[in-house]
Amino acid sequence: MGRGGTSVGALPGFDVKRKSLMKMLIPCLLLLVSSSASYAQTPDCNLEGEGELTTSRQKRFHAIRPDTPDRAAVLFDMAIDYARAGNSRKSVSLLEEALADTPWLDPSQEEAFHLLYGCAAFEKLVAKVQQKYPPVTASHVVHTIPQKDLIPEGLAFDPVDGTLYVSSIFHRKIVKITSDGNISDFVAEGQDGPLGVLGLKVDARDRSLWAASELRGQSALFHFDRSGKTLGHYAPQRPSRHEFNDLVVTAKGDVLVTDDLDDAVYKLPHGTSKLLRMDLQNRFYPNGIALATDEKSVYVAHAFGIILMDLDGTAITEVQKPKDISLAQVDGLYVRQGSLIAIQNVFGGNRIVQLRLTPDGKSISNGKLLEFRSPNLELPTTGTINKDSFYYIVNSQIDHEEDGKLRGEEKLQPVKIAVLKLD
């Protein structure tokens, strides 16, 4: 999630406080809404038709690439924005179009739609989605970390000794859980100046640990040896706000990390100290990242899809999908035996999914919900695979932290790690 993944309306640097409302939409927005979509109105639900998007939100939707394959998710996100703007009529209309092919986006999970509860048109959409996608709970909790204000975001697994590493955004440290369940600090709080720690990855060559870190728009990659000693840190030189989020390490030691504020992927070639920027061509909020099996390319999740990109940043291709699958808002992303395993969390209900790839790796042939509307999906962010087991963070509580400060601290709970068996 980085700082919690995000919808377009809540992307950093834009009008997330949703203040001034506009009376007119720009033409590009109108193209997104089918002229044939009827405004739903039922006797038991008096839908309001006033309220428009702010200029900043209009511009952000306008900037979405026209080749983004998950148009349903774009419409779903717009419906959320219109609901928050008070235009329930437009919101329902957008939802009807977004859910026409019944993708796994559950509107009942959205607080923004609370005024639509009980509305026949809305309840019909909810019933259709929930009938097709019933709840799935296949995981169970295996570790509980007592420290409530850890605010974890990343997990990494060392297959040699079974150590599980857990990052902490708020305490700017890394915790380790040994195979026998012992919990201790691996990297001390603020050691050598780490920022809030997000994504983690074990380097298979020497079992060292790489970490993505960020605080208030500054980011760096950190490298630690097996004892937790800092081996180095690397910051981007580009004068911009940065948020390093998740990362991968290739077999030869190159590190690639997503930067969701700079809309880019940064690469640290093995044996060098300079980060190279790879632009994602107007794709917003890159988050999850996973190496393709042949390690010649990498999958990168952005706000409304997943791309396949060569390791030098060229040959970017949007991954195609069936209409009833959503690729939007993927946080943790992993490759396993011809499939992508993904955690989706910003809208449409938290879920863990399996996306079966076609032989060329450029399309999704079919998908499966592995965990959905489950008590073990409070606010998941990332996970890690060990053989046939997927470990993931159940309750990151990342929504309680912002810029190094906590809010709603009294509501925090011990951190839970669950495991899900993979086929």
Kindly indicate the confidence band of residue 194, based on its pLDDT and cuts at 50, 70 and 90. Answer: confident
Query: Residue 50 — pLDDT band, cuts 50, 70, 90?
Result: confident
Q: Which residues contact 141 (CB under 8 A, 6 or more apart)?
A: 376, 394, 416, 417, 418
Q: Annotate 335-401 with DSSP letters as a single string.
A: EETTEEEEEE-SSS--EEEEEEEPTTSSBEEEEEEEEES-TT-SB---EEEETTEEEEESB--GGGE
Which residues neighbour 359 within 8 Å (Cβ) at sequence distance 6 or greater? Answer: none
Q: Indicate if 273 and 126 belong to the same structural domain.
A: no
DSSP codes joined into one string, 8-47: GGG-TTS-TT--S--S---HHHHHHS-TTPPPP-BTTB--
Whether pLDDT at 18 is above 90: no
Are 412 and 278 in the same domain?
A: yes
Report helix, strand or coil for 156: strand
Whole-angstrom distance, CA of residue 395 vs CA of residue 380: 6
Q: Are 353 and 104 in contact (CB under 8 A)?
A: yes
pLDDT at 31: 37
pLDDT for 39 equals 38
Name the residue range of residue 414's domain: 140-421
- Do 144 and 116 reside in the same domain of the chain? no
CA atoms within a 13 Å half-sphere pointing along the CA-CB vector of 180: 1
Q: Which of 40-49, 65-74, 203-212 has the lowest mean pLDDT?
A: 40-49
Residue recorded with tokens 């509501």: 411
Average pLDDT over residues 284-288: 96
Last residue of a domain, one of 132, 154, 183: 132
71 domain-assigned: yes
Dump pLDDT digits (tens) for 375-402. 999 999 999 999 999 999 999 999 999 9
344-378 burial, b at 16+ Cβ within 10 Å, e below that, comes to: bbbbbbbbbbbbebeeebebbeebebbbbbbebbe
Q: Is 61 helix (H, G, I), strand (E, B) or coil?
A: helix
Residues 127 and 145 in one domain: no
Q: Is the pTM of this model over 0.85?
A: yes
CA atoms of 49 and 86, how far apart (whole Å): 8
Answer yes or no: do 247 and 362 share one domain: yes
**What pLDDT band is residue 151 in, cutting at 50, 70 and 90?**
very high
Phi-psi region at 181: left, alpha or beta (left = phi > 0; alpha = psi -120 to 50):
left
Q: Report the pLDDT averaged over residues 191-200.
A: 93
Total structural domains in the chain?
Answer: 2
Identify whether residues 164 and 43 lie together within a single domain: no
Same domain for 86 and 197: no
Residue 281's CB is within 10 A of a number of other CB atoms, namely: 12
Q: What CA–CA distance (Å, rounded) separates 143 from 141?
A: 6
Q: What angle do CA 29, 2, 84 make, to 5 degrees?
A: 40
The helix/strand/coil state of 320 is strand
What is the secondary structure of 264-299 as a DSSP string?
EEEEE-TT----EEEE-SS------EEE-TTSSEEE
Average pLDDT, the chain: 90
- Select from 132, 160, 194 the last residue of a domain: 132
pLDDT digits (tens, 9 = 90+) for 52-81: 998 988 888 888 989 899 999 999 999 999
Reported confidence tier of residue 416, pLDDT bands at 50, 70, 90: very high
One-letter amino acid of 407:
R
Percent residues over pLDDT 90 in the chain: 82
| pLDDT score of 250 | 97
3 in a structural domain: no
Residue of 11 and 416 predicted with greater confidence: 416
Helix (H/G/I), strand (E/B), else coil: 107: helix
- Do 216 and 78 belong to one domain? no
pLDDT over 50 at 158, yes or no: yes
**What is the reported pLDDT for 350?**
97
The whole-number pLDDT of residue 1 equals 58
2 within domain boundaries: no
The tokens describing 230, both together, are 């800092």
Tell me if 1 is assigned to some domain.
Answer: no
